[in-house]
């Protein structure tokens, strides 16, 4: 027995760690018990331990026990643990092996069908965990764990690979406010969050994986633990307590891991979660908005870099006025009975804006004068209509010196000889570029010629394809 626990004991200082040293009385009748620990160590994982021959044979399972036979999960064979560990929970101090919080996720008994050196087949009888599973060695200490029988819930749905975000149309406050909920319109970038096995993956509106850009948001995965969820929200940067799309620019386009890590500390973002689309084997897309919101609130997602903001049923006019007083972009009105329609601009969600803002495609630029002589003076922008890029004006304000230099480099890389615009053309001195960049602008109104008046640059975005950018919706 001592030989089997030598490796376990050699890794621990029992004067420091509260973990058991191993000394359960000999002669106790062997039982087929198991425990699954949720281990919040440097990286969240689950530890599966099976009582066998006087010890707990153990595997670390990074993504947890798979509930569905469609997925296998890695299980890394670790050192045997003493039987007393089956009841252990607590905090392992920093500096000790496995430092972090150890919680009992489930425990119970199991039936043995096979228990071989390279294969273990058992049936769990726990509080959460039921069913037949097999663990099989692949190489070295790496094993896989597979569920052999169908899930207990025959209606269980696998987590979707991708859900396109639902979009809102532009409009005014609805008259029947009692049938609507109202939320602040966040000045950030849309992100769908996929949480599984204690890990979070973020996708932009156009399906790009943006997880590496925002490492401070990864903690949301461990906060959800073993729960499987698909969230809808926005990544937002705050300045003086208000969301700032311009400040977010410093984070949106980074590729250097070192710079990302540095800015995640100096200029952190927050993931504002406002909808729940899937939870633990069940799609919530067809539920009413208020039912999805209730399920979201029950998750309690409020942490150091993520929030579930309040929503207000009725009284949209008061929230709109409050948003205007605070210099915010506006609010979103959402019908209480509205289902979630992925990828569609539905009537059940309405943007009510204090500031007119639009995406625009950059098709060229004009050289500057005076202090900007020899470099970018104004962007030449347009919108797509019927598959053609139409000229919509020039944007010459809203730039910092650093942004002028950055955009200038991006435009030089995309230079072209011919105009990308169809129909009405921009000024003759325009330097044309490939229409690959999308910018965000504020403006006062749209003229009869479909030109933006008094546009002001707010930043570039890469979560929208240029061909998707149409003229601003009339209010």
The verdict on residue 157 lying in a domain is no
For residue 320, the domain's CATH number is 3.30.470.30
Longest dimension (CA), the chain: 94
Contact 377, 367 (CB under 8 A): yes
Q: Are residues 311 and 182 in the same domain?
A: yes
Q: Are residues 315 and 372 in the same domain?
A: no
Q: Which of 117, 147, 177 is the last residue of a domain?
A: 147
The residue-averaged pLDDT of 219-227 equals 93
Strand partners, 445: 453
Q: Which of 290, 319, 353 is the last residue of a domain?
A: 353
251 DSSP assignment: H
The verdict on residue 155 lying in a domain is no
Q: Are residues 138 and 75 in the same domain?
A: yes
Query: What's the pTM value of the predicted model, to 2 decimals?
Result: 0.84
Q: Are residues 108 and 13 in the same domain?
A: yes
The verdict on residue 196 lying in a domain is yes
Domain count, the chain: 3
The verdict on residue 24 lying in a domain is yes
What is the rounded (10 degree) CA torsion for 410, 414, 416, 418? -90
Q: Are residues 142 and 175 in the same domain?
A: no
The verdict on residue 156 lying in a domain is no
The verdict on residue 160 lying in a domain is no
**103 in active site:** no
* Domain assignment of residue 447, given as a range: 357-468
C-alpha–C-alpha distance, residues 259 and 214, integer Å: 11
Contact 380, 394 (CB under 8 A): yes
Catalytic pick among 63, 185, 353, 458: 185
Q: Are residues 113 and 172 in the same domain?
A: no
- Percent of the chain at pLDDT above 90? 81
Lowest model confidence (mean pLDDT) among 82-86, 238-242, 269-273: 238-242
What is the rounded (10 degree) CA torsion for 399, 329, 310, 212? -30
Query: Tell me: the pLDDT tens digits for 423-469?
Result: 999 999 999 999 999 999 999 889 888 899 999 999 999 899 999 99
For residue 431, the domain's CATH number is 2.40.50.140
Euclidean distance between the first and the last CA atom of the chain, given in angstroms as a whole number: 77
C-alpha–C-alpha distance, residues 90 and 37, integer Å: 11
134 DSSP assignment: E
- More confident call, 254 vs 344: 344
* Helices assigned H by DSSP within 243-333: 245-252, 257-266, 289-298, 316-325
C-alpha–C-alpha distance, residues 439 and 41, integer Å: 42
Contact 49, 31 (CB under 8 A): no
Q: Are residues 348 and 297 in the same domain?
A: yes
The verdict on residue 159 lying in a domain is no
Query: Tell me: the pLDDT tens digits for 110-154?
Result: 999 999 999 999 999 999 999 999 999 999 999 999 999 988 788
C-alpha–C-alpha distance, residues 406 and 6, integer Å: 59
Q: Are residues 221 and 301 in the same domain?
A: yes
Q: At 44, is the pLDDT very low, low, confident or very high (cuts 50, 70, 90)?
A: very high
Q: Which of 87, 115, 147 is the last residue of a domain?
A: 147
Residue 25 is predicted with a pLDDT of 44
Q: Are residues 201 and 335 in the same domain?
A: yes
Query: Tell me: the pLDDT tens digits for 369-410?
Result: 876 777 899 999 999 999 999 999 999 999 988 899 999 999
Q: Are residues 441 and 453 in the same domain?
A: yes
The verdict on residue 58 lying in a domain is yes
Residue 71 is predicted with a pLDDT of 87
Q: Are residues 261 and 182 in the same domain?
A: yes
Q: Are residues 305 and 371 in the same domain?
A: no
Per the prediction, the chain carries an average pLDDT of 93
């Amino acid at each position: 027995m001592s030989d089997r626990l030598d490796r376990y004991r050699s890794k621990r200082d029992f004067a420091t760690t509260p973990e058991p040293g191993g000394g359960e009385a000999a002669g106790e009748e062997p039982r087929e018990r198991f425990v699954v620990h949720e281990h919040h160590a440097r990286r969240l994982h689950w530890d599966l331990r099976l009582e066998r021959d006087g010890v707990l044979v153990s595997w670390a399972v990074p993504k947890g026990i798979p509930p569905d036979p469609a997925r296998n999960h890695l299980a890394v064979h670790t050192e045997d643990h003493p039987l007393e560990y089956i009841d252990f929970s607590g905090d392992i101090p920093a500096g000790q092996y496995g430092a972090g919080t150890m919680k009992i996720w489930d425990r119970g008994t199991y039936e043995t069908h096979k228990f071989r050196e390279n294969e273990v087949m058992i049936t769990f009888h726990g509080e959460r965990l039921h069913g037949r599973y097999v663990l099989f060695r692949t190489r070295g200490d790496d094993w896989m764990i597979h569920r052999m029988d169908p899930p207990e819930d025959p209606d269980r749905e696998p987590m979707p690979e991708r859900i396109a975000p639902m979009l809102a149309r532009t409009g005014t406050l609805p008259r029947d406010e009692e049938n609507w909920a109202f939320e602040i319109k966040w000045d950030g970038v849309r992100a769908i969050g996929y949480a599984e096995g204690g890990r979070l993956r973020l996708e932009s509106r156009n399906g790009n994986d943006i997880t590496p850009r925002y490492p401070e948001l990864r903690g949301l995965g461990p906060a959800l633990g073993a729960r499987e969820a698909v969230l809808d929200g926005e990544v937002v940067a705050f300045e003086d307590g208000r969301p700032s799309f311009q400040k977010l620019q410093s984070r949106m386009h980074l590729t250097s891991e070192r710079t990302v890590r540095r800015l995640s500390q100096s200029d952190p973002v927050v993931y504002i979660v406002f909808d729940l689309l899937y939870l633990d084997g069940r799609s919530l897309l067809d539920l009413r908005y208020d039912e999805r919101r209730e399920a979201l609130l029950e998750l309690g997602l409020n942490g150091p870099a993520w929030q579930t903001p309040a929503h207000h049923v009725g009284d949209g006019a008061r929230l709109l006025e409050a948003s205007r007083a605070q210099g915010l972009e506006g609010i979103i009105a959402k019908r209480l009975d509205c289902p979630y329609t992925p990828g569609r601009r539905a009537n059940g969600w309405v943007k009510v804006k204090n500031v007119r803002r639009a995406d625009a495609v950059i098709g060229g630029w004009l050289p500057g004068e005076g202090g900007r002589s020899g470099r970018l003076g104004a962007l030449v922008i347009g919108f797509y209509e019927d598959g053609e890029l139409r000229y919509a004006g020039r944007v010459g304000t809203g730039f910092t010196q650093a942004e002028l230099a950055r955009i200038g480099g991006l435009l030089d890389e995309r230079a072209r000889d011919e105009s990308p615009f169809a129909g009405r053309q921009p000024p003759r001195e325009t330097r044309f570029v490939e229409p690959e960049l999308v910018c965000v602008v504020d403006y006062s109104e749209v003229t009869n010629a479909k030109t933006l008046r008094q546009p002001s640059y707010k930043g570039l975005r890469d979560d929208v394809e240029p061909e998707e950018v149409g003229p601003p919706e009339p209010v």
